A and B are shown apart, each in its own frame.
Chain A
Amino acid sequence: ETGVTQTPRHLVMGMTNKKSLKCEQHLGHNAMYWYKQSAKKPLELMFVYNFKEQTENNSVPSRFSPECPNSSHLFLHLHTLQPEDSALYLCASSPHPRDTEKLFFGSGTQLSVL
């Protein structure tokens, strides 16, 4: 496997459910990101991790909880979400947080909250 892999590709959950999104990168990068992409809106940066340490939390509600156990894996734990949280959640990685020229995205998890 190469690149950035996200699972699941699609997720439907109720507002009381707890679920997790998974991201794995095989590029040897040190920085990993979660972005939210809503229809007709710009990508919103949610979290940044560098060498497993969170370096950015862009005022994301606590119902989104990230976890980065190592530089290759990133999770987004979801609980008590709202319908407005329905969106495409994209994981990305880069060699370093300042290497935006080398930012690689996964294919995303399309999340629907009922």
Chain B
Amino acid sequence: QKEVEQDPGPLSVPEGAIVSLNCTYSNSAFQYFMWYRQYSRKGPELLMYTYSSGNKEDGRFTAQVDKSSKYISLFIRDSQPSDSATYLCAMSENDYKLSFGAGTTVTVRA
């Protein structure tokens, strides 16, 4: 069993739709959770950082963590073509070594 599972997609949505991304994990000791965005031919950049359970909102982005279900989500509201990218989830036990998902490729159609 992979430590972090992420549906690779691809996911294609019309502009303005809500994009829903998620990851499941097996290590109950994970307590730091991150979402990265990676544009084509670029390195990943941090989008959202969450410690422990709960929700965090930043503009059009909302990250949710459900530690009881070992499940994290990222929602993108009012999606734009500029949101087209690969989204990677990542997590760690102690804010040190990160375990990444394989990434979900998202295309927002104008």
Contact = CB atoms under 8 A, between A and B. Distances in A.
Contacts of A100: 32, 34, 90, 92, 95-96, 98
A98 B96 contact: yes
B88 interface: yes
Nearest to B45: A105
Interface residues of B, number: 25
Contacts of B103: 42
A92 interface: yes
B109 to A, nearest CB: 23
B101 A42 contact: yes
Contacts, number: 54
Interface in A40-72: 40-43, 45, 56
Given A100-B32, A100-B34, A101-B49, A45 B43 contact: no
A105 B96 CA distance: 16
Interface of B: 2, 4, 8, 32, 34, 41-46, 49, 88, 90, 92, 94-103
Interface of A: 4, 9, 40-43, 45, 56, 90, 92, 97-101, 103-108, 110
